[in-house]
Amino acid sequence: MHGVAWSKQSAPDFLGDVAWRWGDIKDAFDDFSLVGTVTNDGVEEVIQDGSPAQLLGVDYWVERLGEAGLLKPGTVFISGTIPMKQGVDQFADAWAVELSDGAGHTSRVRYDVEVLPAAWQ
């Protein structure tokens, strides 16, 4: 088994298939829904169900990126994890997430997991 820090460094981040301009959704963003699912042995199960309000706010990160000189056109920032449901096996065969605005627009991403070889000492 590998730890979180190791896995975060060895796996890519993913972007969904829909994007919103921050200025257009800023006031409604905390009302978006964020749902994560896992698939184990062909059975999909919800593992996360919440909203971006459970994460550090975008304004917080915009300020931090600005202070670091990293807030530039084309910047993509990925932040945080909402709480996972107890009893759901997070070490799944596949993961998916949907971010929905409540107006019929949903950004989706799904990926299959490839088990890495055992860690070395």
Both tokens of 54, joined, read 């459970």
Calpha distance 40→38 (Å, rounded): 7
Within 10 angstroms of residue 100's Cβ, the number of other Cβ atoms is 17
Structure confidence at residue 1 as a pLDDT band (50, 70, 90):
very low
32-78: pLDDT as tens digits: 999 999 999 999 999 999 999 998 888 898 899 899 998 988 777 77
Calpha distance 83→49 (Å, rounded): 8
Structure confidence at residue 118 as a pLDDT band (50, 70, 90):
confident
Q: Work out the average pLDDT over 3-30.
A: 73
